[in-house]
Amino acid sequence: MKRRALLVGALAGSFALPASALPSFAEVKAAHPTSETLFLDRHGEVLQRQRTDPSVRQGAWVPLSEVSPALRSALVYSEDRRFYEHAGVDWQAVASAAWGNLWNTRTRGASTITMQLAGLLDGDLKAGTQGRSWTQKAGQAVWAQWLETRWRKDQILEAYLNRVPFRSELVGIDALSRSLFAKAPHGLDADEAAITAALVRAPNAAPERVAERACEVQQAMARAQGAKADCLSVRLLSGTVLRERRWAASEGDAPHATRRALAEWRQQAGTRAAPPQIRTTLWAPLQREAQTLLQRQLRSLLGRRVEDGAVVVLDNTSGEVLAWVGSSGLLSQAAEVDGVTALRQPGSTLKPFLYAQAIGEKRLSAASLIEDAPTHIPTAGGLYIPQNYDRNFRGWVSVRTALASSLNIPAVRTLAMVSPEDFAAQLLRLGLPLRESGDYYGLGLALGSAEVTLLSLTNAYRTLANQGRHGPVAPLLAGPRNAVRSEPVLDPGAAFIVGDILSDANARAATFGTDSLLATRVWTAVKTGTSKDMRDNWAVGWSQRYTVGAWVGNASGAPMGDVSGTTGAAPVWAGLVRWLHERQPSRAPAPPAGLVAQTVRFGQQLEPARREWFIAGTEQPLFALGTGGDSGAPELRPRIVSPTTGTILAIDPDIPPAHQRLTLKAETGDVRWRVDGKPLGKGQEVQWMPWPGRHRIELVNARGELLDSVRIEVRGAGVKNGGAPPGKPTR
């Protein structure tokens, strides 16, 4: 005893630690590293767990009370049988180990759980490739005795279980139990506990050696109780679990949204590291409901060649994302693809923005008449012949009917009034990521020939909900925010009128019927869309507080089998609106200043009389076919027939300039021509001498208002012999 006291005193003098240098149990627990990040919803509920450290696999801190008694017993019996009796150093084990070394006898070893914990907490005591040096072992002993004077035994065992390395990249009991046994630590049984204890002694041993060691632990514990252990089950289990990893890198209800939230956090923090927790703006119950509705709808479409979908829900006021479902999960063969941010063709869902622009520019009103009849429109690629979804034509219809019933030909005629270039500029102001010019898309832009994302499209509809004011989608990271930034990009009266049309069940009845899913019990405005060959279908709309967007299709771009917006995405949209407003009302918005309501009648019994909204100055009581100024049928603008946008001409330098002319031709004769902003002539046809460069040819009326324009390019040598300058009129 005297020699042991002298030895301890010498060690304490060599490795004296001030009390302030020794971490407390609370400090070690608070600083516990984890390779996982928990993503929380706006109220603190866990939504997703995602591995964010590829170098190690370490789970959350597990209290000792949540570790199975079988494991606690097996670990103490295997590593430190006198754990509850010694004060950090087991001097009996030290003596036994020394005696065994003297006579080359195999012993358990003298390192206690407390000493091992000391080596885990202090990097200077970490074992090297040749094991620990004598001084490191002495340091462990001093640390262990310091720990025992300030920590309770249960705290020491708890910290050890959470910090001990087990196998390969696995550190701590949480990572081990979830990776090998696919369960929480409190559920480990006797066989699993024996394997776990065996891995502490030999973390990377072969499965056969681990099984042998686990069997020894079970037999020793059984002998201590006067029983006998059967090792067959533990041997079978070892051979299975040590070759598998069952803990997925990511688990939860919002994998795509949380990946985006992590990217936002890293960008904000300026680091590639990740915190243990990130709070998001998502709302967990809504997120789960959206996921459930989407998967249920896709299962109902089994056999129609559709497996993917996506959903997003935005708060109208703040722009915060409340739900973000990027895929159908296990139903998809491309579950990693985020359908919320993938570019897809939006079909008819762009029509509300087109009509809002035309109404805001006072080209149309909700009661204006547009002809829904077969038409052939010349374009750079040939004749464009738009068709309605059902291949039927309805003759002259009002804008309200055309938009609510999603008629294609009136939309194309409206785009011809607005022009593809101006409409594309409007879509860009709404935040839609168009990658080409309006002239590139042509008149097909009215029917969704561009590509957009579900997130940007839903946010553009939020602009309609906010009476034309557009603001960005808020970051997914929850926290204090600056005032919501928004700017007017649509006439507020036009946005209100479009919302009023999209909420009108009677106006959409011609196409969708009076009892469709789009007719909700609370006030909502909604539009569906289906892209070419049924590759995508959409349902996007808003209530008083929320904007909801749903997409159904295939991530591969493969066409679906007879799935439209009403049979594909609309049930998901309607289910979410019903869930959101189960106990919350949604009232129609109040009209903004500058609108007037007036009763209108339609001649030739085209439509029943009704009360209609107008931007002040565009109202009229009668809409009928005829030549009078009060007909309500918009004047169809003359178009340029030749040349078409994209035409490339070549000048022959060997032909005199006076003999090289380009014929400009319009649909009608009461028009004027301009080239690069300079007057050229008037009439249905004029001659223009080409000049090298890119040119804009414009068709205007007698008041100078633009009717149509095309862009062409002239290539070749410069014109010689006193040729006319660009744009100079010729006769």
Of 680, 692, 580, which is closest to residue 640 (Cα–Cα)?
Answer: 680
Of 37-46, 105-114, 722-731, give the lowest mean pLDDT range.
722-731
Question: What is the Cα–Cα distance from 10 to 458, expressed in whole angstroms?
Answer: 73
Write the single-letter amino acid at 252.
G
Residue 628: per-residue pLDDT: 45
pLDDT-derived band at 577, boundaries 50, 70, 90: very high
Of 368, 380, 263, 254, which is closest to residue 311 (Cα–Cα)?
Answer: 254
Structure tokens at 35: 């390779």
Over residues 307-357, the pLDDT tens digits come to 999 999 999 999 999 999 999 999 999 999 999 999 999 999 999 999 999
Alpha-helix residue ranges (DSSP H) falling in 31-68 = none
Give the start-end residues of each E strand in 414-493: 469-470, 487-488
Question: What is the Cα–Cα distance from 23 to 151, expressed in whole angstroms?
Answer: 10
Residue 432: per-residue pLDDT: 98
> What's the whole-number average pLDDT of the chain?
86
| Average pLDDT of span 15-22 | 53
Over residues 496-534, the pLDDT tens digits come to 999 999 999 999 988 888 778 899 999 999 999 999 888
Q: Which helix (H) or strand (E) holds 680?
A: strand 678-682
The answer to whether the CB of 448 falls within 8 A of the CB of 412 is no
Cα–Cα distances in Å, from 49 out to 39, 249, 254, 276? Answer: 6, 8, 9, 10
Of 686, 689, 529, which is closest to residue 698 (Cα–Cα)?
Answer: 686
Question: Cis (ω within 30 of 0) for the bond into 643?
Answer: yes
The answer to whether the CB of 419 falls within 8 A of the CB of 708 is yes
Q: Of 228 and 608, which is predicted with more confidence?
A: 608
**Residue 181: beta bridge partners?**
none
pLDDT tops 50 at residue 8? no
pLDDT-derived band at 658, boundaries 50, 70, 90: low
- pLDDT > 90: what percent of the chain? 56
Stated pTM of the model: 0.79
Q: Of 20 and 427, which is predicted with more confidence?
A: 427
Over residues 243-257, the pLDDT tens digits come to 777 788 889 999 999
Q: Of 385 and 318, which is predicted with more confidence?
A: 318
What is the four-CA torsion angle of 557, 561, 563, 564, rounded to 10 degrees? 70
The answer to whether the CB of 279 falls within 8 A of the CB of 44 is yes
Over residues 624-654, the pLDDT tens digits come to 886 444 556 655 567 788 887 777 877 766 6
226: left (phi over 0), alpha (psi -120 to 50) or beta: left
The answer to whether the CB of 147 falls within 8 A of the CB of 114 is yes
Over residues 128-154, the pLDDT tens digits come to 555 556 676 777 788 888 888 899 999
Residue 13: per-residue pLDDT: 45
Question: What is the Cα–Cα distance from 237 to 199, expressed in whole angstroms?
Answer: 14
Length of the chain: 731
Residue 657's Cβ-count burial label (10 Å; 0-12, 13-18, 19+) is middle
Of 272-286, 426-440, 707-721, give the lowest mean pLDDT range.
707-721
Structure tokens at 641: 């027939």
